[in-house]
Amino acid sequence: MKSGNKKFTIDEICALVEMNKRTVRYYIQKGLVDRPEGIGKGAFYSHSHLEQLLAIRKWKAAGLSLERIQDILAGEKQGETGDRPLPPPLPRKQGTVEVWSHMHVCDGIELHIEPKRAGLKPEQVRTLFKEVMNLAQKIREEDP
C-alpha cells in the first residue's frame, strides 16, 4: 500500500498534525479542510486531509488569519497559487491589534518592526537589530 493511500482515523490524523479533534472538526466546518470519507465511526481521513491540515498549521504559524487561509485555499482550488511562496498578509483593517518591537538605536533614531508582518523569525529580528546598531555606530564614527 502506498503511503499516499493510507487512511487515518481522527485520532491518528490529530496526532500527526498536533491538533485536537475539536480544531480539526472546526476547520472542516469552516470549509478549510475536506470532509472525511465515510460517516460516523467509520469515517477516515486521507493523505490529502493530512496535507491540508499541515498547510493550515504552517500558515497559522506564519501569522495568517483563518480568513486569509481560506482565501489562499480557495485560490489553490482554482489553480491560482501552485508552488508559489506564502502570500503576504492582507493589509491591516481598522481596529487590528498588532505587537510591534521598538528599538531605541540612539537619540533621534528608532526602529519599529512587526515581525509577523515582516515575515521574520525572532532570531532574524535580533540579527536585524544588531546590524542596525552596528551600522548606526559606524556612521556616527565616520567624520564627514
Chunked into runs of 10 residues, the chain (144 residues) has average pLDDT values of 74 94 93 90 90 90 84 65 53 74 87 80 87 91 78
| 67, 108: one domain | no
Question: Helix 47-61 and helix 10-17: axis angle, to 10°?
Answer: 30
Q: Is residue 83 part of a domain?
A: no
Q: Is residue 7 part of a domain?
A: yes
Q: Is residue 84 part of a domain?
A: no
CB 45 within 8 A of CB 10: yes
The distance in angstroms from the start CA to the end CA of the chain is 72
Q: Is residue 93 part of a domain?
A: no
Please, where are the H alpha helices in the chain? 10-17, 21-29, 47-61, 66-77, 115-118, 122-141
| 14, 60: one domain | yes
* In the block, residue with C-alpha cell 491589534: 97
Considering the entire predicted model, what is its pTM?
0.53
- Distance, in Å, from the CA atom of 68 to the CA atom of 79, rounded to the nearest integer, reads 17
- Give the domain CATH number at 22: 1.10.1660.10
> Residue 81 has what pLDDT?
45
Q: Is residue 112 part of a domain?
A: yes
